[in-house]
Copies of this chain bind each other. A is one copy, B any other.
Amino acid sequence: MSDATNIMDTTEIELGAIVDRAAAAFPLVAAALPDERGRWLAAIADGLESAADQLVPVAQRESNLSEQRLRGELARTAYQLRTFITALHSGDLFEVIIDHADPAHTVAPAPDLRRMLQPLGPIAVYSASNFPFAFSVAGGDTASALATGCPVVVKAHPGHAELSAMVTDIVLDALASAGAPDGTFATVYGFEAGTALLRHPLITAGAFTGSTGGGRALLDIANARDTPIPFYGELGSINPVFITAEAAAARGDEIAVAFASSYTLGAGQFCTKPGVVFAPKGSGFAEAATRAVQSFGAAQLLNNSISERLGHLEAEIAGDPSVEVLVSGGADDDGWLPSLYRVSSAVARAHPWIVTEERFGPSAVVVEYESTEEFDALACLIDGTLTATLQASAETDEGVGDLITVLSDRAGRVLWNEWPTGVTVSAAMHHGGPYPSTTSLFTSVGITAARRFLRPVCYQSIPDGLLPSALRETNPLGIARTVDGVYEAPAS
């Protein structure tokens, strides 16, 4: 039984039938032309938007997130689906490279070679608790897998099972009305079904957003299969912020207010929440952040298991004698109040767990440094992270260029005088980072996320009429291709 009282867990027999249908659909889904798949995505986006008034109240009830936030997230989810339509039409998703035969090739006569990316097969998508629309049933993973031509089986998050069932119906209706093959999409429920899904031999990749513990357990399942499969997990992230002395002096109060807003946004339940900030000792930053946070009210967390986990972690850090509690948060009648801690850089270096443990919720640590010469060593305390942020006053800040280089080796996105919460859906976005922030070299946001579900195939000397249409000499799809080393733009 799932958390939602009226939705039953998917049984082993049901799961087998669902994956079999997905596998049977795969050749048809893969063969659908790019524009056809684009119409499926458009239909899902339209369906979500049309049902916003029914969906948002259920999402509010199940997630405790605000109506405004959820309406924004739904709009982003629809936009996300539609960005793949453009990428399908231009052919950017397929990375077509054509090298015509070259009898005079330096090494040996070269045959006609035509390479494109093709879909892997049925994909298991694990919904996140904290984005009931954007990283859930019809979220970015589903959008990118469907765009590539892969059927999708979603494991619903128990925290919003009723919403998941509603969105599933919308997706199924949209796909049916747009002519997608039966079996293109399904949702399963329950913990057992989730692990059995990843073990199923016909599943070809997994995508997950959630905790480090849960993600690593699933990664190990994917790796231990007779046929290992890619598992794209987005796990924990600290998202450190470095404030230079110049920036703290010039606008410390402003940065403190913005920091307080960022780490408490959505009750601190973003994977890009800035959990640790490095600020100059004696600058008054910690005091300013304390004042800013104290004015914030309580917010309900997503669910009880997140509250329990946060309570445990908060007790651990607050109880450590080397940690100063600046703001003592915790549960009250209206939800969870933000907390803020302070340690010296010496303490952080001696007890790295203080800065490496992700406290999912409205909790953050200020680490006070003595000198910017410590930046490299402090940056190296942090494990792989989705983002790293600099607050600096000018390009002349001492050592800032080096710090950007160091941070770019540990983070997937480096920000300057902005905040990591709020992930733009854009081709240039990278939402990913070294382990444990993700288990992959790919993004889960933006059109390059589709690359996770694609593999190259090369066609050697195949007659033109038997090639996939993307590779035919006349380029009937009018897509972007690199031919004999020269890029050819899409037709429109």
Contacts and interface: CB of A to CB of B under 8 A. Distances in A.
A27 B416 contact: no
A380 to B, nearest CB: 12
A418 to B, nearest CB: 5
Contact of A412 (B409, B428, B442, B456): B456
Interface in A63-117: 72, 75-76, 79, 97-99, 105-108, 110-111, 113-115
B489 A428 contact: no
Interface size class of A (residues with CB under 8 A): 35 or more
A60 to B, nearest CB: 20
Given A219-B228, A405-B27, A418-B460, A110 B424 contact: yes
A6 B137 CA distance: 61
A249 to B, nearest CB: 19
B461 A118 contact: no
Interface string A426-440: 111110101110010
Contacts of A220: 223
Interface in A410-453: 411-418, 422, 424-430, 432, 434-436, 439, 441-443, 448
A253 B176 CA distance: 51
Given A424-B105, A455-B441, A462 B416 contact: yes
B413 A458 contact: yes
Interface string A462-492: 1101101000000000001010010101000
A31 interface: yes
A267 interface: no
Q: How many copies does the complex hold?
A: 2
Given A404-B466, A466-B404, A413 B460 contact: yes
Contacts of A462: 404, 414-416
Contacts of A106: 75, 79
A118 B412 CA distance: 10
Contact of A461 (B75, B223, B415): B415
A227 interface: yes
A414 B219 contact: no
A326 interface: no
Given A439-B228, A455-B434, A111 B424 contact: yes
A230 interface: yes
A167 interface: no
B107 A457 contact: no
A489 B113 CA distance: 22
Contacts of A191: none
A458 to B, nearest CB: 4
Given A405-B27, A408-B118, A480-B487, A463 B414 contact: no
Nearest to A488: B487
A348 to B, nearest CB: 21
Contacts of A308: none
A97 B427 CA distance: 7
A454 interface: yes
A423 B306 CA distance: 53
A457 B424 contact: no
Given A31-B405, A487-B480, A457 B416 contact: no
Given A76-B107, A219-B228, A404-B466, A428 B461 contact: no
A333 interface: no
A69 to B, nearest CB: 12
Nearest to A442: B456
B99 A426 contact: yes
B485 A427 contact: yes
Contacts of A404: 459, 462, 466
Interface of A: 27, 30-31, 72, 75-76, 79, 97-99, 105-108, 110-111, 113-115, 118, 120-121, 219-220, 223, 227-230, 384, 395, 400-401, 404-405, 408-409, 411-418, 422, 424-430, 432, 434-436, 439, 441-443, 448, 454-463, 465-466, 468, 480, 482, 485, 487, 489
In order of increasing CB-CB distance, the 7 nearest A-B pairs are A430-B458, A113-B428, A99-B428, A223-B223, A430-B456, A415-B460, A97-B428
30 contacts: A31-B405, A72-B108, A75-B106, A79-B107, A97-B427, A105-B426, A107-B425, A108-B424, A111-B418, A111-B424, A113-B424, A113-B426, A120-B441, A220-B223, A223-B223, A223-B228, A227-B436, A395-B465, A404-B462, A414-B459, A414-B460, A416-B461, A416-B466, A427-B482, A430-B457, A430-B458, A432-B456, A441-B454, A487-B487, A487-B489
